[in-house]
Amino acid sequence: MMKLTRSLLLSRNLSSEKLLVGKVDDVQEALCLHSFLSRADMSTTGAGENPVPRIFAPYSIYKGKAAICVDPILPTFTKMDSGHFRVDRKGCILLTFGPAIGERKYDWGKKQVFALSATEVGSLISMSPTDTSEFFHDPSMKSSNAGQVRKNLSIKAVPDANGYFISLNVVNNLTKTTDRFVVPVTTAEFAVMKTACSYALPHIMGWHRLTNPQLGDSAKKSSKIDPQLLDLEWDK
Amino acid sequence: MMKLTRSLLLSRNLSSEKLLVGKVDDVQEALCLHSFLSRADMSTTGAGENPVPRIFAPYSIYKGKAAICVDPILPTFTKMDSGHFRVDRKGCILLTFGPAIGERKYDWGKKQVFALSATEVGSLISMSPTDTSEFFHDPSMKSSNAGQVRKNLSIKAVPDANGYFISLNVVNNLTKTTDRFVVPVTTAEFAVMKTACSYALPHIMGWHRLTNPQLGDSAKKSSKIDPQLLDLEWDK
Amino acid sequence: MMKLTRSLLLSRNLSSEKLLVGKVDDVQEALCLHSFLSRADMSTTGAGENPVPRIFAPYSIYKGKAAICVDPILPTFTKMDSGHFRVDRKGCILLTFGPAIGERKYDWGKKQVFALSATEVGSLISMSPTDTSEFFHDPSMKSSNAGQVRKNLSIKAVPDANGYFISLNVVNNLTKTTDRFVVPVTTAEFAVMKTACSYALPHIMGWHRLTNPQLGDSAKKSSKIDPQLLDLEWDK
Amino acid sequence: MMKLTRSLLLSRNLSSEKLLVGKVDDVQEALCLHSFLSRADMSTTGAGENPVPRIFAPYSIYKGKAAICVDPILPTFTKMDSGHFRVDRKGCILLTFGPAIGERKYDWGKKQVFALSATEVGSLISMSPTDTSEFFHDPSMKSSNAGQVRKNLSIKAVPDANGYFISLNVVNNLTKTTDRFVVPVTTAEFAVMKTACSYALPHIMGWHRLTNPQLGDSAKKSSKIDPQLLDLEWDK
């Protein structure tokens, strides 16, 4: 069993999110996509800018008690005085969990997120059919709220080696709440996650920029990509 | 053995296809490509528009009793009011089967198709040399014809672990017909399928757009890609 | 052991090549690249055209008795009346063998080539450390010289599972000659071949065009890529 | 155990580097990136040119006694009289080691580098959980200082198959110094290295150029990429 702790993630403020989302119906049909879209609509309206268009294509797994969406988030780059670029904010694979509230209905207003770092993705894609991985995040680490919110993601092989249970536990001492999501994932669905995350890994590390010099121009732009969207999830 | 059911596929109407194709000779030499090309020619002529050029490069396996073509179909994207894009129609790996009617001759007018979803592709690419996968599609699901056409694709390891049998069974209660195709596939051919489908998987999920921001412009265009071509296969 | 026969390859005429290459010194230092470059220089000079620049980056393995170069060749595309594109000439992985004639010296004027098809590449990349693959090409198949030249490529695991022997045998009944090359390849070198060929496979199949619609423009151009370079190796 | 010797690398002159870097503080926080950035800033200032912007996105592993950064370096291309391009300087995966001098502090002024060739990368990515790889470089080979500096990189599986030790030994007879770095790497971190290096391998070989003809234009530019940056590491 691998245990990794990541400390640079600040959780989004759930209550302020509800405020922002406003009249958007929290209870939706099976559209994990919704939670992303409302956020994106928000950020453009609110900022009054014209950010680079984002493309939403999460891989979603809907099960009886909860759903999970898998979505790569690219790193951002900063141009230095020398004219060169360096990674500013690291990319991640964002896992979004939503609880089921009926047949094919999920309450994305009660979602919780977990952002896998490059190394955590390395752990996921190297799992054998009998492995277990566990990751701990303290989204408030290095702030005065350190230790108040604890997130625990576990990926456990099903005993008969026919898939995995992906579970997220969020214990919030500030709001005195505990959220728990369990999504059973088939071998086929996990193969999609592994293959897609292996594809995404060099990209969330920023290596696609290294190996495609002609992307230099877009590096500048990408640093403008919808900062609000990222700030909601963590703050390096 | 994995069993997956996919319900969002509507089969194309075979009889109307024959009508549309008109004078195109149904009996062709070993050119699986033909069935794609005639369709593409149709859609441009018929629509009078100027769609984004499509590129045809199916991987074809010709065997004694039938042939199979493997062809990735990209997702389409929709621009939202916010200026961002979301996946509109999901991509797939399209398998096209045609019966043999002579030496190196296949009747593509009698073809049947099976569109593998991302998760079904995940199942295919994670198969061990002794695994078996089976997929069921009801192309008319959620319509009044639900249950009238049943498609069953099976990929079975050859006992001596030296390849696979890929079989498609289509039972159509409306036309009182049953079509069955069996294509023996060597280990080398299956390795091509696995490698090419692993490559295509993030693309049919739309993740190549997420990780290549500079593709933003083409996202708009791609929603115009030859809709007829896709409507023939399914209707989400 | 897998046996595959490929019949659509016509061998280049060795004697005419020597004529064309003219004063270029046949005996070179360890530069497999040389054989490609002289050919490329020829074709532009000869044709008087301005073809799309080609980029030469073969992976070369130099050993005591022979050297081998591995080089991907992209497919070419043809624009159809409909405005769409289809694969015209399939791509391949070109293996070029040259005999050693001294320390780190190879005689590329006596080279022999073997063009691996997509399926043959599938065979190579799926080999286990104890597997053996064997491929047979008759470059004159379907011509009056059918059967006169027989090429046999074998990839055999070294008994202690510590690499492979890659051998090419060319028996030419027209010139009454037999050429034989054997290159011992380490596990590390074979891993490079497998990884690079897995990367190249979707590209030689033309699937990179399917999944990158914005490449549409270059499809037109690529059909102009140095035809002489390809005609020398085979004629579909 | 695989042993490979690479002879075409010339080590950078450590003392001249210190001179160049000047007032840049040698003792930095945990930012392996720093060593790259100062070099990049140097080269643009010094040369007075306007090189193609470089993008810095190393994968860094910080451990108690040392840190390691993994960074792909692309090949450069030369345009030939024919208008075609050939690889000029081969690419590599650059490993940079820095000793720890406090909690999360590393002295990048005392760094040592090791440039993995394509074949050495092939060795790394094909390692099983129990394998060991060892590479030897003489950066002064073929010069009058041949044999004076010996670099030895070893990657050894941890006995319980739960990660690797990556060690670099540099024995310099000219300066009478020996540097030794040992970085324990977890299974997850090594999976990132394997996946990212597998992704980068075709790129450092230059095959991304072969399979993406539209990159032709950037080939010209890339030959201008910050030569000083490369000259510091080796001289083919």
pLDDT tens-digit map of C164-219? 999 999 999 999 999 999 999 999 999 999 999 999 999 999 998 776 654 443 43
Tell me which of B188 and D230 has the higher pLDDT: B188
Who has greater pLDDT, A37 or A57?
A: A57
* pLDDT at residue D146 is higher than 50: yes
Q: Report the range of poorest mean pLDDT among A12-16, B200-204, C93-97.
A: A12-16
Interface probe, candidates B8, B127, B210, chain A, greatest A C-beta count within 10 A: B210
| Cα–Cα distance measured from residue C164 to residue C170, given in angstroms and rounded to the nearest whole number | 20
Q: Which two tokens stand for residue D202?
A: 């075709």
The answer to whether residues C113 and C92 touch, using CB atoms and an 8 Å cutoff, is no
How much of chain B is helix, strand and coil, in % rounded to 5?
30, 35, 35
Characterise D176 by phi-psi region: left (phi > 0), alpha (psi -120 to 50), beta (else): left
Amino acid at C195: T
What residues are paired with B156 via a beta bridge? B132, B165
- Confidence class of residue A99 from pLDDT cuts 50, 70 and 90? very high
Question: What integer pLDDT is reported at residue C98 of this predicted model?
Answer: 97
Question: What is the enclosing helix (H) or strand (E) of C171?
Answer: strand C164-172
pLDDT tens digit sequence for A164-212: 999 999 999 999 999 999 999 999 999 999 999 999 999 999 998 776 6
Which chains have 3+ CB pairs within 8 A of A?
Answer: B, D
Nearest neighbour of D55 by CB, restricted to A118, A119, A209: A209
Cα dihedral sign for A136, A139, A142, A145?
Answer: negative
Nearest to A203 by CA among B207, C155, B159: B207
Mean pLDDT check: name the lowest of A20-24, C215-219, D192-196: A20-24
pLDDT digits (tens, 9 = 90+) for C110-167: 999 999 999 999 999 999 988 999 999 998 877 888 889 999 999 999 987 689 999 9
Q: How confident is the model at residue C79 (pLDDT cuts 50, 70, 90)?
A: confident
**Torsion region of A53: left, alpha or beta (phi above 0 gives left; psi -120 to 50 gives alpha):** beta
DSSP state of A51: P
Question: Would you state the pLDDT for residue D224?
Answer: 39
C-beta of residue D202 within 8 angstroms of C-beta of residue D208: yes
Rounded to whole angstroms, the Cα distance separating D108 from D33 reads: 9
* d(C-alpha C223, C-alpha C91), whole Å: 12
What is the model's pLDDT at position B125? 96
- SS3 state at B112: strand
Of B37, B195, B199, the CB nearest to C125: B195
Q: What confidence tier does D223 reach under pLDDT thresholds 50, 70, 90?
A: very low
Whether pLDDT at A27 is above 80? no
Task: Check: CB of residue B211 under 8 Å from CB of residue B21.
Answer: no
A125 contact D CB<8A: yes
Q: B212: distance to nearest CA of chain A, Å? A: 9
The answer to which of A48-52, A74-78, B130-134 has the lowest mean pLDDT is: A48-52
Which structure tokens are listed for B199? 């490559």
pLDDT at site D36 = 52
Mean pLDDT on D160-164: 84
pLDDT in tens, C36-50: 544 443 333 333 444
**Low-confidence winner among A17-31, C169-183, D170-184 (lowest mean pLDDT):** A17-31
Residue A10 has pLDDT above 90, yes or no: no
The answer, yes or no, to whether residue D129 has pLDDT greater than 60, is yes
Cβ contact (<8 Å) for C71 and D205?
no
Name the closest residue on chain C to residue B129, using Cα atoms.
C126
- For residue B204, give the nearest of B52, B32, B77, B83 by alpha carbon: B77
Around Cβ C165, how many Cβ atoms within 10 Å? 14
B-interface mutation test, from A54, A68, A229, most B Cβ less than 10 A away: A54
Q: How far apart are CA C30 and CA C33, in angstroms?
A: 9
Determine, for residues A53 and B85 on separate chains, whether the beta-carbon distance falls below 8 Å. Answer: yes
Q: Out of D119, D207, D216, whose CB is closest to C52? A: D216
Strands C66-73 and C92-102: antiparallel
Mean pLDDT of B42-56: 52
pLDDT the model gives residue B203: 93
Give the pLDDT confidence score for residue D85 in this predicted structure. Answer: 85
Give the ranges where D3-112 is alpha helix by DSSP (H): 14-21, 33-47
> What is the separation of C-alpha B21 from the centre of its chain, rounded to a whole number of angstroms?
19
CB-facing half-sphere around the CA of A155: CA atoms within 13 A: 27
* Residue pairs spanning B and C at CB distance below 8 A: 114
* Phi/psi at C39 (5° precision): -65, -45
The number of angstroms, rounded, from the C-alpha of D152 to the middle of its chain's C-alpha atoms is 14
Confidence grade of residue D108 (pLDDT, cut at 50, 70, 90): very high
CB B154 within 8 A of CB B134: yes
Q: Are the CB atoms for D110 and D66 separated by under 8 Å?
A: no
CB B191 within 8 A of CB C126: yes
Q: Which one has a higher pLDDT value, A80 or B187? A: B187
Question: Does residue C184 belong to the interface with chain B, where contact is any CB pair within 8 Å?
Answer: no
Helix (H) or strand (E) holding B220, with range, is helix B216-222
Burial letters C14-52, b for 16+ CB under 10 A, else e? beebeebbeebeeebeebbbbbbbbbbbbbbeeeeeebb
User: Residues C85-97, buried b or exposed e (16+ Cβ, 10 A)?
Assistant: bbbebbbbbbbbb
C205 touches chain B (CB under 8 A): yes
Contact check, Cβ <8 Å, C205/B196: yes
Query: What's the pLDDT tens digit per position in D55-96?
Result: 889 999 999 999 999 999 989 888 888 888 888 899 999 999
Closest-CA distance, B39 to chain A, in angstroms, reads 28
Q: Do the Cβ atoms of B138 and A212 come closer than 8 Å?
A: no
Lowest mean pLDDT, pick from B187-191, D34-38, D102-106: D34-38
Quick check: C202 and B195 CB within 8 A?
A: yes
Cα dihedral B111/B112/B115/B121 (nearest 10)? -90
The identity of residue B143, as a single letter, is S
* Distance (Å, whole) CA A191 – CA D203: 25
CA pair distance A156, B164, nearest whole angstrom: 31
Q: What is the DSSP letter of B54?
A: P
Helix (H) / strand (E) element for C173: namely: none
* Cα of B71 to nearest chain C Cα, Å: 8
User: Which range, of A92-106, C216-230, D91-105, averages the lowest pLDDT?
Assistant: C216-230
Single out the residue of A174, A175, A137, A129 nearest to residue A156, CA to CA: A129
Among A152, A172, A158, A183, which residue's Cα sits nearest to residue A68? A183
Query: Is the pLDDT higher at B144 or at A108?
Result: A108
Binary contact (C118, B222; C-beta < 8 A): no
User: What's the gap in Å between the CA of C27 and the closest CA on chain D?
Assistant: 20
Query: Does residue A67 have a pLDDT over 90?
Result: yes
Residue C19: its pLDDT value, please?
A: 26
Q: Are strands A164-172 and A177-185 parallel, antiparallel or unpaired?
A: antiparallel
What are the pLDDT digits (tens) for B58-90? 999 999 999 999 999 989 888 888 888 888 899
A–B interface: beta-carbon pairs under 8 A: 113
pLDDT reading at B169 higher than 70: yes
Region B199-217 average pLDDT: 75
Closest CB from D57, D59, D188 relative to A4: D188
pLDDT over 60 at B48, yes or no? no
In angstroms, the separation between the Cα of residue D186 and the nearest Cα of chain A is 9
Residue ranges of D 78-117 with Cβ closer than 8 A to chain C = 79-87
Residues D84, C45: C-beta atoms closer than 8 Å: no
Instruction: Give the per-residue pLDDT at B46.
Output: 35
Share of chain A above pLDDT 70, in %: 67
Is it the case that residue D104 has pLDDT exceeding 70?
A: yes
The pLDDT confidence band at residue A111, using thresholds 50, 70 and 90, is very high
User: Which residue of chain C comes nearest to B72, CA vs CA?
Assistant: C210
- pLDDT at C212 (0 to 100): 61
Which of A143, A112, A136 has the alpha carbon at shortest distance from A17? A112
